[in-house]
Amino acid sequence: MTRYAFAERLALADLMAEVGPDAPTLCGDWTVRDLLAHLLLRERRFDAAPGILIKRLAGRTAAVQQRIAARDFDTLLAELRRPPRWSPAGFGPLDELINLTEMFVHHEDVRRAAAGWAPRKLEPGLSEALWGQVRRRAPLLLRRYPVQVRVISPGHGTVTTGRAGTQPLNLTGTPSELLMFLTGRQGHARASLDGPPELTSRLRGARLGI
């Protein structure tokens, strides 16, 4: 099978090396160095990773991430390129399931933080793999939104989620742009949103993601 997650990992590492550790990202006030430390913590420090999702453990996670970020930047990039043999990255289908969204979205977090960015032209296989991620994740990522949302990608399909019986919103775009929107990058995603203005405005400003 094609290893899209691993290809995105290598492309992200190359871009990080090109722009440097102090370049901005779309992840709040994180620099490239901070984002790189987050990726390594997630993959190599299972003892500290739960704080990524569990607020009461976030302090330890932040402290460990800061220690990772203080290390040599080139060494950190080498570790991103060569994940541990025991990590999901070593198993193709599991890598795609767990890491494709992570690597693609964070690759775009670095790309789109720079002025003049434009969407990449993706090969059909990668677009289809990203649509699979959208299809699986949309119900979870939109679980808190109180109206029905139809997530539409022409040529790929439609996912309907949210509260049935309400007037639906239509969120339309390529799989890559839908994935960026649904992971909380609404302002940097080229996806269209149609429906009542007050509801579309609310979704564009909603805190999405896990």
Mean pLDDT over each residue of the chain, to the nearest integer:
91
pTM for the full predicted model: 0.92
More confident residue, 84 or 100: 100
* pLDDT tens digits, one per residue of 38-93: 999 999 887 877 767 778 878 888 899 999 999 999 999 999 999 887 777 666 78
Reduced to 3 states, what is the DSSP secondary structure of residue 164?
Answer: coil
Contact 153, 124 (CB under 8 A): no
Burial 158-170 (b: 16+ CB within 10 A, else e): ebebbeeeeebbe
Look at residue 94 and tell me whether its pLDDT is greater than 90.
no
Contact 201, 187 (CB under 8 A): no
